[in-house]
């Protein structure tokens, strides 16, 4: 399995922190923070919305630190504590996502997209936990990368929305597409990144033909 480069980790961490800061404003419980097509829906379903936001920003804030090799090496205890907090965030955020999915703007296509994200988020996080409980460290790392790829959908969604607007696409249509594009490519990329590779066989010296062996002696 490949390792995450320092530059890749830095970009991932900065983008995650920015989205956490942007999304944290919703936890002020101020109705004026909601706008756009979903305002009425959000105001009518504040509890599942806040459950999802709290869990998601917790997972997004803690997730990148799970992949810090320095933290794992120098303070494994903090690595475990952060991991527990991350998985708890995934659990809470995933439950909130499933509660909100039937209310998503864009109709059944968008609703299925976000519901699929919620299910995949819970499965990858749960599998990652099960792997470490069975002390399968490499498999645990694979599943945690896949889990965070889905957590990172919060970032990719916010990157894609202005692209659709800049292209002057119909918002409803673009939102239906983004409901899938914000997480499916992330998961596919993470799966490719963590795929098992065949072990390299050591080079073996070619056998010397008997005729040549006689000449060497």
Helices (H), the chain: 6-23, 39-44, 46-62, 69-74, 76-100, 108-133, 137-151, 153-166, 171-181, 184-193, 210-216
Please report, for the chain, the start and end positions of each structural domain, with discontinuous segments joined by +. 6-216
pTM: 0.85
pLDDT digits (tens, 9 = 90+) for 21-57: 998 888 877 777 776 667 777 777 788 889 999 999 9
Contact at 8 Å (CB) between 179 and 114?
yes
Q: How many CA atoms lie within 13 A of 13 on its CB side?
A: 13
pLDDT tens-place string over residues 82-128: 999 999 999 999 999 999 999 998 899 999 999 999 999 999 999 99
pLDDT at 198 over 70: no
Distance CA 45, CA 196 (A): 43
Cα–Cα distance, 50 to 31 (Å, whole number): 12
Backbone angles phi, psi at 44, to 5 degrees: -85, -15
**Any long-range contacts for 127-132 (C-beta under 8 Å, 24+ apart)?**
128/87, 129/87, 132/83
- Average pLDDT score, the chain: 87
Distance CA 98, CA 59 (A): 16
How confident is the model over 56-71, as pLDDT tens digits? 999 999 999 998 888 8
Angstrom distance (rounded) from CA 209 to CA 202? 21
Q: Who's near 180: CB < 8 A, 6+ residues apart?
A: 109, 113, 116
């Amino acid at each position: 399995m490949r390792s995450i480069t320092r530059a890749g980790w830095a970009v991932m961490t900065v983008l995650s922190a920015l989205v956490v800061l942007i999304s944290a404003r919703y936890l002020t419980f101020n109705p004026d923070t909601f706008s756009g097509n979903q305002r009425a829906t959000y105001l009518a379903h504040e509890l599942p919305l806040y459950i999802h936001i709290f869990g998601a920003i917790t997972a997004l804030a803690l997730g990148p630190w799970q992949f810090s090799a320095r933290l794992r090496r120098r303070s494994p205890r903090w690595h475990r504590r952060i991991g527990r907090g991350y998985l708890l965030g995934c659990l809470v955020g995933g439950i909130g996502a499933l509660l909100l999915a039937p209310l998503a703007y864009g109709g059944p296509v968008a609703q299925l997209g976000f519901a699929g994200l919620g299910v995949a988020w819970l499965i990858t996080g749960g599998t990652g936990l099960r792997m470490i409980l069975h002390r399968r460290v490499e498999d645990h790392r694979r599943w945690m990368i896949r889990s965070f790829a889905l957590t990172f959908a919060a970032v990719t969604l916010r990157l894609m929305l202005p692209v659709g607007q800049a292209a002057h696409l119909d918002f409803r249509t673009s939102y239906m597409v983004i409901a899938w594009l914000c997480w499916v490519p992330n998961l596919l990329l993470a799966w490719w990144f963590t795929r098992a590779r065949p072990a390299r066989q050591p080079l073996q010296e070619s056998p010397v033909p008997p005729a040549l062996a006689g000449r060497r002696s």
